Every structure is written in C-alpha cells, then in structure tokens.
C-alpha cells in the first residue's frame, strides 16, 4: 500500500462523538477505525475494584456506531476497552457487544486480546531472572519488582504494544474475525498496529499515532469527544479533523506531540522511543497539517506493568468556612485537631489510620507544591479524608475528626456555635476501599506477544 488511512473516532470510548464526524470520515475511505478505552488517568481504584470509570450506556452507544460502520464499510475496528483494562473490565464490555450484535441483528466474530497479566507467569519470569525496574523513583515502589509485590497486588495489567494487535489483525485478514477488542493497551499501540503491519516507517507511524491517540484534542478547538483522521505514507503523514468546526494547525499538532510526558521531545515506547526534536510541521491546507522528520530509536523491548494493592477504606466529610480568624489560623487549627484526635484514639495503633485535610482556597489542589504562599481567601472548603483498616474504623474516625474540628477552641474564636458549615446532611460519606499502585514497572520481554492471550468470541453468545 502507498498509504494507510486511520480514523481515531474519539479520545475515549464512552466519551461520545458526533455521528456527523464519523460519517464524514467514512467518506475519506479509512482502512481501519480505532479508539482507545483504557487509561490510568482515573487512578488505581478502578483496577482494584474491578469497575469501570465510563458509563455503560455511553460505551454501548459509541461501540455500536463503530461496529455498525465497520460492518457496512467492510473495514476492521480496533478498540481497547474497560477503563483499567483487566479481564473483568473487558468482560463487562463484551456483554455490551453481545447486546449490540442483537440490536444490529448481525453475527460478530471478535478477536479479544487480554491485557491482564497472569500472576503465576509473572512470578516465573522474575524467578527466571527477568528484571522489572520501577518507572518512577518513589519509595513505595520497589526498585525492582518482587514476588511479594505481585502477591500483594489485586490484579496486574500491562500496556500491550502494537505487536499482539498485529497478531490479531492476521486473524482479520484470514477472514476469521470482524474486529479486535483489547484490554489494557498502549494508547498509540491501538493506532499504530494497522500501519505497522503494512510496513509504514516506525518514526512516522508512532508520531502520527501520538497525534491521533486522543482524538480531536490535537485540533482547534480541541475536544476529547470527537475524532481525527490520519494518512501516513513513506515520507510524511497528514492529520485533519472531519468535523468542519475544527481545524488542525501547526500549533495544535505540535503541542500534542509534547503531550503527557516529562521530556517533551521523547515518547517512550515498548521497543524504543520516538524523538520529535527534528520533526517538521507544515500547514498543508487550512485544516490539515503535514508532519515529517521525527526519528525512532530502537531499544530493548519492555512492557509497562500496572498493579494495585488494597491499603484500607476511606470516609470523607465536606465542610466550609468564611470566618477570617479561623482561616488565618487554619494551619495550626488542623494540626491541633489532628493531635487531639490521635490522643483520643490512643487505643488504636497510629499505623492503622491516616488523617488528611484538603483545604480548597489555600492549597487544596497542589498541596505542598503550591507556589502561592500565604493567600488570603475570604472562604475555604475543607475535605476531611480518613483512611483506616476497615470501613467502620474510617467512618468512626472521620466522625470524630469532623466533630472535633467543628467545636475546637482557638485563640480569638468568636464562632462558638461551630467553626465550619456542612453543605450536606449527612455530613460524612463512606467512600469504600482505597487502592494504591504498588506495581508501576517496566518488564524486559523478548517476545512482545508472550503474555497477551488472544481468543475469538462469536456474538451473539
């Protein structure tokens, strides 16, 4: 093929997209429809709890439109699904696809690529000498992944690269499946698989995939609820939005090239990294940008592992104050309240609970990294955040903190009826289990497809 045309339908399955954008993109004859539906943006809870952060009816709506277009135009679809992307999340989406196949009155055969990593397989890899170094230098992550880390995790997923998806595409071209659904996946991997299969240059494919990964965010005005179209050949690639209300500009495309990484010029990938230092961006026409010149640098193959462990249960209380004396003294007041509560709870080991305060209006967003020092807000919002070993303990301690803060005496105090006001009744909210990432490591891998199982499922089932 001289060129490969890819339409990325939306930044996230379940976020929605205009039907008109899809209809226009289909007139441009894409070879494949793609969309990502996995991420860690929503934090560790969803991987631990086995639930999705996207609403099922919205996911069903998006997938139904994608699958219907795929069937009508005879092209494959490649979608990662399920949010956190473990098998339990994917299975929830497969139930939706079952309903879609019934709604459309059509039979579907789908290659499902699991993104969940078998813990026994992973432990055998570690015992055989494979290394998995932490990706972020923080103390709660082991420098190198251990057996204990794996055992402590609720479940483990990995950001699969394009290779397992390319393997599933072989099934499509043999006429064995109609499309591909994956669990946890590298965002650019979903986009890159098809053009890489047909031999397009890795530097251009990965760079285009980076621009397309989040849909129309790379356009002006940007949107995560719309799509973007890419065309790649041996020398350059083009990106443009099908929505006439948007346009790609050199600024919007170059900006997304630098998106979400510590080094804006380097995109880390399983098989190496993309260097966009030498990339050239040209306004090809009013709504299209042409890109060339980036470099791909190969390195030993690794996959990013993500795992979470249960650390306790949370209860929160939300309150506010506009008392200027309270606000002026709030740092010392919160410290005093914490000490009072700890003294009253001296029968409970202090390592069994944590008390946090988030004060919006002072440092609620950035905490210790807040650059604005000593602000003088006229009101503040306070979130009391307690994590304990059990939900009952979290509830009890949160109630004690809330009551202590409400009635705590301090110098110059005039609001003796209560220091804080509550917008809700009840004032306290059990928030359920709390998870944290204990696996955030890169595992050495010789075969990029080894840990990712593929099965073909027929629908309706």
Q: Looking at domain 309-438, which of 3.30.420, 1.10.760, 3.30.70, 3.80.10 is its CATH number? A: 3.30.70
Q: Residue 365's pLDDT is what?
A: 93
80 with 8: CB under 8 angstroms? no
Residues belonging to the chain: 461
Q: Residue 262's pLDDT is what?
A: 83
The 3-state DSSP class for residue 419 equals coil
Bridge partner residues of 429 (DSSP): 316
Q: Residue 427's pLDDT is what?
A: 97
Residue numbers in the chain where pLDDT is lower than 50: none
What are 192's two structure tokens? 């890159």
Q: Residue 261's pLDDT is what?
A: 82
- Short-list 25, 455, 36, CA closest to 243: 25
Q: What is the pLDDT of residues 360-384, one digit of tens each?
A: 999 899 988 899 988 889 999 999 9
Q: Residue 111's pLDDT is what?
A: 98
- pTM of structure: 0.93
Counting Cβ atoms within 10 Å, is residue 145 exposed (0-12), middle (13-18) or buried (19+)? buried
254 with 247: CB under 8 angstroms? no
Q: Residue 272's pLDDT is what?
A: 97
Number of H helices, E strands in the chain: 13, 19
- Short-list 30, 49, 53, 23, CA closest to 432: 49
- Tokens 């995109």 identify what position? 267
Q: Residue 104's pLDDT is what?
A: 96
Q: How far apart are CA 206 and CA 197, in angstroms?
A: 13
Residue ranges of the chain assigned to CATH 3.30.70:
309-438
What are 245's two structure tokens? 């209300």
């Amino acid at each position: 093929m001289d060129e490969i045309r890819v339409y990325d339908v939306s930044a996230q399955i379940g976020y929605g997209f205009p039907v008109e954008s899809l209809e226009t993109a289909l007139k441009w004859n894409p070879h494949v429809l793609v969309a990502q539906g996995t991420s860690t943006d929503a934090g560790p809870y969803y991987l631990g709890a086995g639930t999705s952060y996207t609403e099922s009816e919205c996911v069903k709506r998006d997938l139904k439109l994608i699958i219907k277009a795929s069937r009508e135009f005879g092209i494959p679809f490649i979608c990662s699904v399920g949010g956190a992307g473990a098998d339990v999340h994917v299975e929830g989406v497969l139930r939706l696809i079952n309903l879609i196949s019934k709604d459309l009155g059509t039979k579907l055969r789908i290659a499902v690529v699991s993104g969940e990593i078998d813990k026994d397989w992973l432990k055998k890899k570690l015992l055989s000498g494979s290394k998995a170094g932490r990706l972020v230098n923080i103390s709660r992550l082991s420098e190198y992944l251990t057996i204990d880390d794996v055992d402590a995790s609720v479940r483990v997923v990995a950001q699969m690269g394009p290779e397992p998806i390319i393997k599933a595409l072989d099934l499509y071209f043999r006429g064995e499946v109609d499309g591909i659904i994956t669990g946890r996946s590298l965002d650019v991997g979903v986009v890159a698989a098809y053009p890489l299969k047909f031999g397009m240059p890795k530097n251009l494919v990965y760079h285009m995939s980076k621009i397309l990964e989040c849909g129309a965010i790379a356009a002006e005005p940007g949107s995560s609820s719309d799509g973007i179209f890419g065309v790649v050949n041996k020398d350059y690639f083009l990106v443009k939005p099908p929505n006439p209300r948007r346009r790609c500009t050199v600024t919007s495309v170059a900006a997304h090239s630098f998106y979400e990484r510590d080094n804006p010029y380097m995109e880390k990938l399983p098989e190496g990294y993309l260097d966009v230092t030498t990339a050239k961006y040209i306004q090809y026409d009013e709504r299209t940008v042409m890109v060339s010149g980036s470099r791909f640098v190969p390195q030993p193959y690794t996959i990013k592992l993500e795992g979470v462990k249960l650390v306790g249960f949370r209860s929160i209380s939300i309150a506010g104050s506009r008392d200027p004396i309270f606000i002026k003294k709030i740092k010392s007041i919160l410290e005093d309240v914490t000490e009072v509560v700890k003294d009253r709870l001296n029968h409970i080991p202090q390592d069994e609970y944590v008390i946090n305060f988030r004060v919006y209006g002072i440092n609620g967003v950035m905490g210790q990294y807040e650059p604005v020092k000593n602000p003088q807000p006229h009101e503040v919002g306070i979130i009391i955040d307690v994590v304990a070993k059990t939900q009952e303990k979290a509830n009890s301690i949160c109630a004690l903190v809330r009551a202590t803060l409400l009635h705590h005496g301090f110098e110059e105090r005039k609001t003796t009826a209560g220091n804080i006001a509550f917008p809700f009744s009840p004032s306290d909210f059990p928030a359920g289990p709390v998870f944290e990432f204990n696996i955030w490591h890169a595992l050495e891998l010789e075969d990029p497809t080894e840990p990712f199982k593929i099965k073909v499922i027929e629908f309706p089932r």
